[in-house]
Structure formats: structure tokens, C-alpha cells
Structure 1
């Protein structure tokens, strides 16, 4: 079974975020969150699902999501 990853879907504004989310779900994505203010959707899917999702009208790009760890105050760990 192909490995699932978390992706950030960047939209162009040509289609509503809700419509794009529905299309992503049809392609097999699990929608984790919709970031309406910045026109992005965070979802989980395989590399193959990502390739298919790039064909959806209104999808500009799909980038891998990365965990950010800022660390506590006065810590050397910043990313």
C-alpha cells in the first residue's frame, strides 16, 4: 500500500475552497483543515493522489507539509 503523507494544497481562487475540498476527497484525500484566509487546504494522501489532484481546477500547487518546532524560549532549537 502506498505511503500517505500530509500535503498543503495551494489554490488560485478560480474555484471555492469547499468545491476544491470536495474534488480532493473524490480523489481519495482526507481533508485535515481548510485555511480560508490564505486559500489553502491541508490534507492527507498518497503521491499518486497528489498527481491526480493537480488536475483539479483552482489548484495551483501541492507541497509536502513539514512539522515546525520552534522550541521553548531561550532554546537553541528554532526549526
Structure 2
């Protein structure tokens, strides 16, 4: 048979191989996930910091002037007679 003339030294090194794959670094999907999550976190924290800074430093908004027509309508609803009548 052809199996009888095989060298026995070929089988002696069989136990030295590892079945575990060598480490190849980080998973590419993990790197993409970390970059996306990091960017979103920086965006949210930055927006919050700018919002709080603007709230402290900017003056309050001016209210829109109420038109005379709306004032007249509100007085009529409240039961106050208009000045011209």
C-alpha cells in the first residue's frame, strides 16, 4: 500500500499547531461603531455646552409688540368697553 511508505516524522509535529486563529486586531465593524458613537456624543455634548453658554450670555428676546386690533379684541373678551364707545 502507498500509506506504508510515509515518513513517521510528518506525524510528530502534529501537536504543535494551534487551532486558535491569531489575533488580527480590532473588528472593523467595532471601529466604525466607535467612531459613529463618538461623533454623535461629541455633537450632543457640544450642542448642550453651546446652549448653556448662549443662555447665560445672550440677553432675553424681545417680545413682539401686540397689535391694536388684538388688544381691542382682548379687552372686549374681558368685558371692558372700548374707549371710543
Q: TM-score under structure 1 normalisation?
A: 0.19
Instruction: Return the structure number with greater strand share.
Output: 1
Q: Higher relative contact order by CA 8 Å / sep ≥ 6: 1 or 2?
A: 1
Of structures 1 and 2, the larger Rg is shown by: 2
TM-score (structure 2 length as normaliser): 0.18
